[in-house]
Amino acid sequence: MQETDVLIIGAGVTGVSAGLELARRGRKALIVERREVGAGASGNNAGSCAVQNKPVPLVPLARDAVEIWKALHEELLREGLDLDYTRLGGFRLAESPQEVEALRKSAEYQQSIGVPIEHLSGDEARRRAPYLGPAIAAANWCPNDGYCDVLHAMKALAGAFVRRGGQIWTHTDAIGADPKGDGFLVVTSRGPICARQVFVAGGTWMRDLTGPLAPPAPVTVRINVLTVTPRVATVFPHMITHISHKLTMKQLPVGTIMVGGGWQGGGDYHTYKGEPSFASLVGNWQMAVRAIPALAHLDVLRTWAAFDGRMPDEQPIVGELPQTPGAFVAGYASGGWTLGPLLARCVVTMMCGDATPEIIAPFSPRRFAQTPAST
């Protein structure tokens, strides 16, 4: 029978980053993935690695997460693996007076926890970024905002894990697990696997796991719509977000402009097939063009929708599953691409017997211990 020290369910950014961290610590890890590496949200998301656009409780995590991205990027580049991580700073925009006030308060809070933020008037922002339109009444500037090309990043992360001795079994479904001896017997579509610890990093789809690996509370599915333009000459180099949380934009090094921000589509997560909604597309692009009027003349090359999950309190879960000692979980973060490597590193710290990192303590799955789990 196949044996491993840690069995990881899911080859998204969280699972693969955890594998990489375990390999660094000399532990044997096997990832089982139902489809392909990055088949879930991680290979289909917008790749924003911004600090300042996260919900308030997650800003300290994002502040630290982008430093992990930077270090990972430099480490992997030295061995010829490119995460395609770009950090040229970002503007978070406001249009209405209420948004301007919210943006100013957000700058004050973020400065107080050590995020480098400048609050600018619309005119000050336009002097630095002449591509911004007249509708922009204020902007916060953060030099640490960035973005990735997620397809390149997932390939590089998985490559680094395998180079360090990790194994990824694609097209392998984790069906369930039972405690056995001082570990688990995990049932998969390729046969049983013995593991001392299990890390559930299955994104949206882990809501379907039952028994010892079930999430500790019901998970809501979100279906986010994205669009990209064809490759064009540089229009803007920065990460662009909006205080309303309904706009993210970046122009990737290859020239394509990606527009998103959480507008919702349809589809069925069981089939991994999302359906973009025309209304969302229009709403998203109206905002994009107000922010950067030069985008009005561009075509949309491709649009898609992909799946993400949320816990009932909209906060991530990170830590040991209350019902199953030895089984850990991480996921359901708003900004889960940005936070994935940090959440993974925190979980690995706990799996290795070190104290729970203070920064993730509020997100323990134990906070749902009284809520009956369901899907």
Contact mark string toward ligand FAD, 220..259, x via CB under 6 A: ----x-x---------------------x-----------
Nearest by Cα to 350 from 314, 317, 310, 309 = 317
The least CB distance from residue 355 to ligand FAD, in Å, is 23
Count of residues interacting with ligand FAD (CB under 6 A): 42
Q: Does 336 bind ligand FAD (CB under 6 A)?
A: yes
Owner of token pair 């969302």: 280
DSSP 264: B
Contact mark string toward ligand FAD, 126..145, x via CB under 6 A: --------------------
Which residues lie below 8 Å from residue 284, measured CB to CB, with a gap of 6+?
225, 227, 246, 247, 259, 260, 261, 263
Q: How many CA atoms lie within 13 A of 280 on its CB side?
A: 21
The least CB distance from residue 33 to ligand FAD, in Å, is 5
Q: Does 47 bind ligand FAD (CB under 6 A)?
A: yes
221: left (phi over 0), alpha (psi -120 to 50) or beta: beta
Contact mark string toward ligand FAD, 171..200, x via CB under 6 A: --xx--------------------------
**Identity of residue 132:** L
245: left (phi over 0), alpha (psi -120 to 50) or beta: left
Q: Does 202 bind ligand FAD (CB under 6 A)?
A: yes
Interface stretch with ligand FAD, choices 104-112, 191-199, 337-345, 360-368 (CB under 6 A):
337-345
The least CB distance from residue 335 to ligand FAD, in Å, is 4
Give whichever of 9 and 68 is closer to ligand FAD, judged by the CB atom.
Answer: 9
Q: Which residues pair with 6 in a beta bridge?
A: 29, 197
Interface stretch with ligand FAD, choices 117-125, 190-198, 329-337, 359-367 (CB under 6 A):
329-337
Burial 173-190 (b: 16+ CB within 10 A, else e): ebeebeeeeebbebebee
DSSP-assigned letters across all residues of 156-167: HHHHHHHHTT-E
Contact mark string toward ligand FAD, 56..95, x via CB under 6 A: ----------------------------------------
Q: Which residues contact ligand FAD by CB under 6 A?
A: 9-15, 32-35, 39-42, 44-48, 173-174, 201-206, 224, 226, 248, 260, 306-308, 331, 333, 335-338, 340
